[in-house]
Structure 1
Amino acid sequence: MAPVRRTAPTLGPFLGLCLALAVLGACTAPDTEPPPAPGGLTAQPGSATTVHVMWEAAAERDGVTGYQVFEAGRLVRELPAGKTMVDITGLTPQTAYAFTVRAEDAAGNLSGTGPAASATTPAATAEDRRAPTAPAATTGRATGPRAAVVSWSAATDDTGVTAYDVYQGGVRIHTAGPGETSTTLSGLQPDTVYTFTVRARDGADNSSPDGPAVDVTTPPASGDGPGTAPAGFTATASPGTVTLTWTAPDTGRETSEYELYVNGRPTTVIQFGAGGVPSGRAEHRITVTEPAGTVWAVKLRARLPDGNWGAFSAERRVTLKA
């Protein structure tokens, strides 16, 4: 009987399979590189039992999908990549806390923590139901296409102001300390009108009314040309009517179409006749049928000569009248 001859199995089929899978991305090396630690971490007491923690957004190239917030090494909150601030609640008055933040990518890699941000909650005050006064004045200016400085006058409170909250479009975007009367806001968009307001807060979490609103227009990024947002936008209610006025953007030619947003939704396109809106002020009146007391938040943007929509005007809030 002839001896049985055994040979080592060939790797050809397996190599071929891997090459095929590699085309689909299945044989690529696993992602084990963590994203960088979040920068610009701050922690600011908001009341006797809360601390507002903020950090800078990760760069798009870092592939961050979420953040983890730790207090003294204990995980206290998890947030999606689009959130870069959070209120940590349920804390103890007159207590020191240290917060760190780690970034996470799609492969589950966690960054380091970076330097901790410390904050001490103030003492609690019993039965404090009186809100601080609103800041009496607000000013602002752009410091570049993506940043602005907002300043306000100090507020007063019977138990003491513990924080100032900066709002944009009704959403809180920043918290500053009780001794601060200005702050720098980053991460803004070029060629955009922002409307900022400031509220004071005390140790019992009572918030003041909004201080006066201030409009800040960021300039276009380098090479983007002139601004495209309608300027000086106003909205005035009279019985059954809302009157809008604005100055047309300098687009190089007269604009004839404007898209109107009400409460964050596009509602209509305002069209002007031949020749469009001349340079200077434009006006448009809207007949309203909604009940008196209804509040609208309105803004608009112009159709540019290239067919695209330009940047939005400032947003105005108006209360309808009967």
Structure 2
Amino acid sequence: MRETPSRAGGGRHRAVLVEKARESIKLGSKSFNAASRLFDRGTRERVWLLYAWCRRCDDIADAQDHGGALGDQSKAKDRVEAIHVLTDRAWEGLPTADVAFDAFGLVAKECGITREMADDVIAGFELDAADWRPRTERDLMQYCFHVAGAVGVMMARVMGVPRDDDDTLDRACDLGFAFQLANIARDVVEDDAAGRCYLPVEWLVEEDIEPGQHTKPHHRQELANMAARLAKLARHHRQWALVGTQALRFRQRWAIHSAARIYGAIGDKVEELGPAAWDRRVHTSRWAKMGHVAAAFFDAVRKAHPMPAEPPAYTRRDFAIVAEPVLQDI
């Protein structure tokens, strides 16, 4: 029997994969799509390819379409196993019959994304499939690492950051932390409706909230208190993330500063609104996005960013899967 040849992208033409990935990001994330257009063409295409895989994994795990309503949540572990199998094949350069996974195989080959980096992301889907809940702040940050910080690390590789540049990779992870913390603050009521809660149990106990009651109207002030904690954590990691942009090229810095401003505005707005933050979904308008992009241009021109006084309490090395060392024959 003839073996299937191993080719990055599963044998699909690169242009086809890039176009399908462009369509995916356009449908899945207006904010990320806007920021990605600031990259140079080569980086932009690779960002799209990686995004397509992230979006598809998320959709498979949650039985949804481009981040829409959650589908049937039964057999979640089987769906995550399917993600593992398809990602394995894609990383090995084998065809998957799924454009998004073939796109991952291509960008992984082009940018040196490791299997461990992909496993770090898939571990986040495994936590959700296991109906996992964080008990401590560290647990919360572990989840944020797997679903966003690890993606930031892969995005840094897409932008050409060397695998041994630990400082810059740590800063890329910080940006993922910041994004996810803001998302949790904004989406806490929606998450509760879906049967999920990413607020640490210890925080709920400190606020004297009964189990499963944190989104009820009589606890809106307590919920606002916890959202403010999330926003503060997000700001701290965002500040550290921007320190790392000085290692990037100008257009890459501009894109990252734009994304940081756009997503940062979400967490800041949730904190500002207090108990009213969930009366309607917080979002960034088109005109506001344009303002953030314009302001980010000058951030990128200045290049240097002040280093915060306090280091982050957690980094990617607290949570990342470490590759086994390769043993050399003696």
Kindly indicate which of the two structures has a greater share of residues assigned to helix: 2
Q: Report the TM-score when normalising by structure 1.
A: 0.27
Kindly indicate which of the two structures has a greater share of residues assigned to strand: 1
Q: Report the TM-score when normalising by structure 2.
A: 0.26
Bigger RCO of structures 1 and 2 (CA < 8 A, at least 6 apart)? 2
